[in-house]
Amino acid sequence: PRNNIMAHRRGRVGVGRAGPKFTKKAEEIKAVTLTSAIETVEKLEVKLAEFAKKHRKEIQHDPAFRKKFLEMCAPLGVDPLSSEKGFWGKMLGIGEFYYELAVKVAEVCLASKSRNGGIISVSEVKHILTKRGTKFQFAHVAVDSQQKGCQYSEEDIITSIKKLSILGSGFRTIEVGTSVMIVSVPTELDHDHMEIMKIAQDSDSGSELGCVTVKDVCDDTKWNKERAKRALDLLLSKGMAWLDVYEGMESYWFPSVWKESSDSSKQEN
């Protein structure tokens, strides 16, 4: 046993003496790895810049191509939207485009606020801008419906809202069922409010599309009447819902949902 203890002690001393060597070697490996990673990122940034120069027109004019390019930039920490004066801003100008788009989107949101309480679908905003024939620095919208599509997408609108939200404007996007909505008021919408608007999107809920009753909400969610009424009353007080009373029956209409479905039907026809 004594020999075992001595051997164990010797082993511990040996490791202690080798410790600084291992630490130094680990630091060297870490430094080499970090340097290699930085060089790799720098090379990728150069390749990205070359790609951007080569495909400048596609990035500017093709929404799908632009989306993929921004997805390529994200892992490298490159933000072509951050500055209009920097390298990316001068070469592509998409930062300026998103700024212009954000301003136009904000105008639509604020102009419709009295009707929808400050919540509007991205698809409705796009429909309004397209109908107006809104044009930008390099993304010209095809006003003629026979021309193939327009030069900015719903994804571009969502990106422009993110640019606004960074500035603390209060604008943000939320997902409600199958739709993305833009909220331009500070009202916090919780799960119950989102669930009710989701029910309003469902044509199988029992009421007309864009409309719900307390009974619809209770049947769909299994909530009690008080919970459903509380959530509906907040949406009503903020102007996000309208109350229609017919023969004693209270129906809650959501302009943002109803208008979106109406615009979609017109586009299909």
Residue closest to 184 by CA, chosen among 197, 169, 163: 169
Residue at token pair 């809104």: 134
pLDDT at residue 87 in the model? 65
Q: Are 66 and 59 contacting, i.e. CB atoms less than 8 angstroms apart?
A: yes
242 residue type, one letter: W
**Rounded Cα–Cα distance for residues 127 and 154 (Å):** 10
Which residue has tokens 């105008």?
107
Give the length of the chain.
269
Q: What's the pLDDT at 250?
A: 93
- Burial (CB count within 10 angstroms: exposed 0-12, middle 13-18, buried 19+), residue 239: middle
Q: In the prediction, which pLDDT does 61 show?
A: 78
Helices (H), 2-62: 2-54, 56-61
Q: Return all residues near 163 (Cβ < 8 A) that are at least 6 apart.
A: 81, 98, 99, 102
Phi, psi of 76 (to 5 degrees): -90, 0
**Listing from the earlier edge strand, what are the strands of the sheet with 211-212?**
211-212, 249-253, 242-246
* 75-129 per-position pLDDT tens digit: 777 777 765 556 666 677 677 788 888 889 999 999 999 999 999 999 999 999 9
Cα atoms in the 13 Å half-sphere on the side-chain side of 199: 26
Whole-number pLDDT of residue 227: 96
Q: Mean pLDDT lowest for which of 20-34, 134-148, 207-221? A: 134-148
Return the SS3 of 82.
coil
Task: Please check whether residue 99 is in contact with residue 176, taking contact to mean a CB–CB distance below 8 angstroms.
Answer: no
Query: Which string of DSSP letters, residue by residue, matches 203-251?
Result: TTSSS-TTEE-HHHHHHHH---HHHHHHHHHHHHHTTSSEEEEETTEEE
pLDDT, residue 261, reads 60
Cα-flanking dihedrals φ and ψ of residue 212, to 5°?
-140, 160
Strand stretches in 80-142, DSSP E: 119-121
3-state secondary structure of 133: coil
Reported as a single tens digit per residue, the pLDDT across 151-180 is: 789 999 999 998 887 766 689 999 998 899
How many angstroms separate the CA atoms of 110 and 249, rounded? 32
Compare 223 and 37 and report the one with higher pLDDT: 223
- Residue type (1 letter), 16: G
